[in-house]
Amino acid sequence: MVLSMYYIYILYSENYDCYCIGYINDENPSLEEQNTNPRMT
């Protein structure tokens, strides 16, 4: 049995006064990789 770890995040934008809620699993690339690789954004 293989278990996957999921991470839930909540981001708040002061500019828009709203929250963004999302999730990623441990198989997704890190945020740093997504921010530095333009094909992944």
**Secondary structure string (H, E, C) spanning the chain:** CCCCCEEEEEEEECCCCEEEEEEEECCCCCHHHHHHCHHHC
> How do the domains of the chain map onto residue ranges?
6-40
pLDDT value, residue 30: 61
pLDDT value, residue 5: 83
Encode pLDDT of 1-40 as tens digits.
777 788 899 999 999 999 999 988 866 556 666 556 555 4
pLDDT value, residue 18: 96
